[in-house]
């Protein structure tokens, strides 16, 4: 036998031996093991759903805080604008001499 077929026979023998050893030395029946696995899977699913619900709740709270902070910033900006920005159009006029002086100071390309 070559090395490849010897390895295949060894692997098959080990698998069959392990399978039968598991059958003979198993402390519980297959039905009991499957039931335990299913129960553990359901428990894990419920636990994960609980964690996801907590995360969802926290995200909603954070969203509300961010929205409130946005409104607060908007209100403060509006107040600052009302306080410091002139309302009359006369205060925004520029005299032609002033504009000419500023244009001369601007860098040229």
Residue pLDDT, tens place only, 74-109: 888 888 887 776 666 555 666 667 767 777 777 776
Residue 109 carries which DSSP code? -
Hey, CA dihedral for 4, 9, 11, 12, is it positive or negative? Answer: positive
Cα atoms in the Cβ-side hemisphere of radius 13 Å centred on 85: 7
User: Taking the domains of the chain in order of start, what are their residue ranges?
Assistant: 3-83
Residue pLDDT, tens place only, 46-76: 999 999 999 999 999 999 999 999 989 988 8
pTM of the model: 0.45
| Nearest-angstrom CA–CA distance, 99 and 79 | 30
What contacts 24+ positions apart, CB below 8 Å, involve 77-84? Answer: none
């Amino acid at each position: 036998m070559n090395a490849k077929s010897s390895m295949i026979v060894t692997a098959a023998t080990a698998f069959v031996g392990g399978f039968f050893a598991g059958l003979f030395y198993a402390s519980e029946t297959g039905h009991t093991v499957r039931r335990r696995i299913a129960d553990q899977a359901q428990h894990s699913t419920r636990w994960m759903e609980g964690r996801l619900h907590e995360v969802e709740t926290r995200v909603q709270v954070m969203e509300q805080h961010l929205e409130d902070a946005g409104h607060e910033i908007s209100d403060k900006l509006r107040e600052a604008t009302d306080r410091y920005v002139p309302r009359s159009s006369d205060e925004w006029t520029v005299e032609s001499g002033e504009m000419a002086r500023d244009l001369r100071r601007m860098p040229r390309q």
